[in-house]
Structure 1
């Protein structure tokens, strides 16, 4: 049996409206050490975005290294497998792997091609051992893929999606060849999956989510898919394909998330046993909305406690609505209304209009898959945004050009008619 933890998107070193999150991350890592000691897993999988920036601070680096040393001390047989996310520098993460291996920790920051243009499978396929030292599973550890990494070995740059699918297929096929009937198969990657629900704190990988992957990539032999990138904990189409989510809220859009890590138990040829372990929130976030008077009233009613150090004070985001400009000292009024040394006002902004009633709560479990827009839909959106008059013939021409781009060798594709866009006259035109 394989017993492991799945976590991701730590974003160590993050500054939130110029406030360090070091204290909150320290609380999370301390809690995680307690879970390791209690549950004694065989492995800890960290699915990317370990740091918030590609050049993390010394404090963030020390925080990670200190945790790894403590984790190995807590669980002597623990393996830690980490991959790079889109916020990480794969090169930088791999620089210290020779030292981390002494703590049974392995890092995959970049994929690697051999001289014959084949993948270095030994780097991307990692055995996972149980406490007795036996290989109980294989982990496909695939970091965030940048187009240049997968289209520079005989692949056409314009065919990134096809190259990505081919790479996944090669790795899965090789992993299936290596594993025995008594071993499990796990895949860990950092990617945006079709149907995933995002927050406003994730950095878009490609405009329009055109890079979103389909779960059809994953073979049935894979018993668990450990995903990183989206901060909301969620499953994608199947119980065993999951984002663990971020351990702390990285924006105010994540106020209602229940942050977690995922505890997974696997037996060969058996569905995964999955249990979320919820991470306690040490520093609250409050989002207040309303008119000027409502905002002041809500801030006065916030719960007060003994004075707290700055790093432990709650974050407050306020959006107010007013038809007239607010008083010049309105920010001072809000700060005076907040209980002293308990809250940090990090943003005060004016709404253009009153908030409409939300039809879907942030806390609701959104499970309806949302496919990424097609090229034609993106073209129509841009065409309308530029103010051009809708013209069916223009859309037909675009679709013909798209067909030509996808099938450059097809000489029978009709050539679109060249035409000038019909631009609406400005409002003051005679």
Structure 2
């Protein structure tokens, strides 16, 4: 049996204010061709399908067109989607009854039975082979928000580290209950494939573009949650493709760079081959990059101008002649300055005239002495809300905020993070 594992599509992402629909469309077209060529039995998408909880209509159209076309080309293909921390679980599940007719299973929330146990049955998705036989079970566990797994015996007066551990313990209990239910349900010749959107201990994080799952708290879980009889663990959330401890436990990574800091990551999907209840092989399939990402600098102003002048299209052609505008490369420029240059952007844009690239980010780097003297200067891009709050508190009261104050802030930030995805309450 053959599966394709992918995650973190972030459809509808605004890239420094620019949309990326053309890139996402190109990726999904490539993915359709890959599923067809590889004759995959199932596609697993491990969360963060959209970039925000309220994605644009164009972003939603990309997803649903992909699902319909995939079913037309591969009528026996099973597709399993789970919500990530960027997604609205309710939105992911809203069209679920219609998508089931296209062999697509969308899981956005966990439900609880009257006795307090996890409703595991709805999270167990059968994966069938070309003969229609169930050869594996997908344990499709969407992202778990703190409100879904914490609160019992926990109060706002408890130390933040205890409340953070309560969240991790809650996630662990849900995984254990789901794995136990799957072990009881499957036949000996059927594989178990776990899919989760979470942060595992020891996995490498991209600080520039991955939103923390829980603000201010410990959020990572142990790979030991997945016993040896789980043939493969398909993970989402971290954008760098990697295995965690074992070849069977993998993040597929994002198919496209979501920030300039991710340009050098391997962007891929993972082909997973199963035989009976065991993993036979995994293979990383590189994703072609539909739009180039160019980084210039950090360098002096003269060196930057020289590098920009050297930008050439392939085979000596002008980029404008070679590519439509939506496929022009994204450009990041970092300039090291010895003195203020108020018209820096104007001069950089003048140097780019006739160059079919899209300048997304221009960073000024001031001399060290200037940074030292300008003690009141704060670069907001380098601060998160917690650091900004702590600096403001320090400036107002002359001392850093205490643990209780920061715990209250973390709770407020988490409520804001989740507010767009909350059900209306009476």
Instruction: Give the paired residue count.
Output: 358
CA distance in 1, matches of 2:12, 2:253: 17
Deviates more, 1:5-14 or 1:309-318: 309-318
Give the drift of 1:156: 4.0
CA distance in 2, matches of 1:24, 1:231: 17
Alignment partner of 1:302 is 2:316: no
Alignment match, 1:218: 226
CA distance in 2, matches of 1:263, 1:340: 42
- Verify the 8 A CA contact 2:120 2:178 in the aligned structure 1: yes
| Larger proportion of helix | 2
- Verify the 8 A CA contact 2:309 2:351 in the aligned structure 1: yes
Cα deviation, 1:126-178, whole Å, max 9, x if unaligned, reads: 111111111100111101110111125x5646322222211111111111111
CA distance in 1, matches of 2:64, 2:312: 37
Alignment match, 1:323: 338
- Verify the 8 A CA contact 2:260 2:332 in the aligned structure 1: yes
Alignment partner of 1:54 is 2:53: yes
* Secondary structure class of the residue paired with 1:49: coil
- Verify the 8 A CA contact 2:339 2:366 in the aligned structure 1: no
Alignment match, 2:361: 347
- Verify the 8 A CA contact 1:72 1:78 in the aligned structure 2: yes
Alignment match, 2:327: 312
- Verify the 8 A CA contact 1:286 1:316 in the aligned structure 2: yes
Alignment match, 1:14: 13
Deviates more, 1:299-308 or 1:50-59: 299-308
Alignment match, 2:350: 336
Alignment match, 1:149: 148
CA distance in 2, matches of 1:77, 1:44: 11
Alignment match, 2:235: 227
Q: 1:48-197 residue pairs with structure 2 within 5 A? A: 48-151=47-150, 154=152, 156=154, 158=163, 159-197=166-204
CA distance in 1, matches of 2:263, 2:2: 30
Alignment match, 1:41: 40
CA distance in 2, matches of 1:214, 1:342: 47
Cα deviation, 1:298-333, whole Å, max 9, x if unaligned, reads: 11111233414331111111111112012x333222
For structure 1, the residue ranges without an aligned partner over 5 or more in a row are 355-381, 388-397, 399-430
Alignment match, 2:422: none
CA gap 1:386/1:239 in 2 versus in 1, 3 angstroms: farther
- Verify the 8 A CA contact 1:10 1:247 in the aligned structure 2: yes
- Verify the 8 A CA contact 2:312 2:319 in the aligned structure 1: no
Cα deviation, 1:96-149, whole Å, max 9, x if unaligned, reads: 101111111011100001122111111111111111111100111101110111
Larger gyration radius, structure 1 or structure 2 = 1
CA distance in 2, matches of 1:329, 1:192: 43
CA distance in 2, matches of 1:93, 1:207: 23
Give the drift of 1:270: 3.3
- Verify the 8 A CA contact 2:48 2:83 in the aligned structure 1: yes
- Verify the 8 A CA contact 2:191 2:278 in the aligned structure 1: no
CA distance in 2, matches of 1:310, 1:4: 35
CA distance in 2, matches of 1:295, 1:344: 16
* Secondary structure class of the residue paired with 1:167: helix
For structure 2, the residue ranges without an aligned partner over 5 or more in a row are 156-162, 369-389, 396-402, 404-426
